Amino acid sequence: AQSVSQHNHHVILSEAASLELGCNYSYGGTVNLFWYVQYPGQHLQLLLKYFSGDPLVKGIKGFEAEFIKSKFSFNLRKPSVQWSDTAEYFCAVTPRGSTLGRLYFGRGTQLTVWP
């Protein structure tokens, strides 16, 4: 079965600190990759996505992620976090090149940023 692993369950940072959230997946074929964010009490919103091309993708609010195919990883980064980045972050993976509609989410990483 496919799976998505997010290594950090809860990350606590001070404002201006750098952030890196890990994501690894187990699917062997070509995949589409996503990071979603869920602010307190809200629904999920797309931060960024990777389909092909440059493995370093930039998203909204200063977030970026790097796809490393050899490591089956898609880590999320931000050089300087803000208090408003406090939220839960989900990595998601879906197989490509088929009619499969399966989308696999990691368990999420809760980020708390102290002002």
Q: Which of 12, 56, 68, 100 touches other proteins by CB under 8 A?
A: 100
Residue 74, both tokens: 């898609």
Q: Give the type of residue at 65.
A: A
- SS3 string, 50-90, reads ECCCCCEEECHHHCEEEEEHHHCEEEEEECCCCHHHCEEEE
For the chain, first and last CA: distance in Å? 41
- Residue with the two structure tokens 């589409």: 32
CB of 57 to other proteins, least distance (A): 13
Range in contact with other proteins (rule: CB under 8 A) among 19-27, 64-72, 74-82, 102-110: 102-110
Q: Is 94 in the site for other proteins (CB under 8 A)?
A: yes
Range in contact with other proteins (rule: CB under 8 A) among 19-27, 53-61, 76-84, 106-114: 106-114
**Rounded CA gap, 61 and 43, in Å?**
17
- Binding-residue pattern over the window 49 to 78 for other proteins, x denoting contact by CB under 8 A: x-x---------------------------
Q: Which residues are near other proteins by CB under 8 A?
A: 6, 9, 32, 34, 36, 42-46, 49, 51, 90, 92, 94-108
